[in-house]
Structure 1
Amino acid sequence: MKLPEPDATEVERDIAIHIFTASAALVGVCLTVISIVGRITVGTKIHRLEDDLLAVDAMVFLVSCLLSYGALRVRTKRRMHRLETAADIVFIIGLCGLVLACGLIVWTVV
């Protein structure tokens, strides 16, 4: 017995839901790492590039979260596709920034 293939709109909506939840979680991850890095450098007056990068990255994930939320709320397929694509691109940029910040933290703490 073959299961019915999902509609393209359903697949895009599913992707938007995943981007929405992952982006919201990663905003929290960025804020948590900022506070942990702040604890590590307590007592020093070193301005850390990692803090700034993670703060910007949290905002990037917030934009991705808002775009995917917009994709879930619109009624037309064309607009939903555009918003979902934009959310996807912004999410990937945020992931790259997070990896860069993690690399900076590892190589400057050691």
Structure 2
Amino acid sequence: MDTNNTHKTKCDLNLEEDVSIHIFTASAAMVGVCLTVIGLLRVALTIRGGVTLADDMLALDAFLFLASCILSYFALRTRSSRRMHRVERWADSIFITGLVLMVSVCAIIVYEIV
């Protein structure tokens, strides 16, 4: 019976590590997406003229994804499972906040450019 509890704990730790890896890779990719869209917006605004709040929001969004990426990296590097879980939770919350902001930026882009 003890081996089941030990095995379950190892599985839980592996699952938490998997979540941290996914947050790490996805948030790093999202920083690149934010930078790409900022560049595209700058080109579109130069051609069309005008100012938008979307690129400023995307810059903030890139920093949120960067913070999430760094926190998930630290969650992967820490030895304490309790600390790892806490840091991972922060990374996850910041990542979700960044996604919500990204959707808001999408709505702004759609209704300002059209």
TM-score by length of 2: 0.89
- Gaps (5+ residues) in structure 2? 1-6
Could you tell me which residue of structure 1 aligns to residue 37 of structure 2?
A: 33
Q: Distance in 2 between matches of 1:51 and 1:7?
A: 42
| Higher gyration radius (CA) | 2
2:79 corresponds to 1:96: no
Deviation at 1:47, TM superposition (A): 2.8
Once the two structures are superposed, what CA deviation does each residue of 1:24-82 show, in whole Å capped at 9, x if it has no partner?
000000000000011111052x3310010000000000000000000000000000000
Identity %: 51
Higher helix share: 2
Q: Distance in 2 between matches of 1:22 and 1:7?
A: 22
Instruction: Number of aligned residue pairs: give it.
Output: 106
- Gaps (5+ residues) in structure 1? none
TM-score by length of 1: 0.92
Q: How does 1:48-67 map to 2 (within 5 A)?
A: 48-67=52-71
SS in 1 for 2:46: coil
SS in 1 for 2:98: helix
Deviation at 1:83, TM superposition (A): 0.6
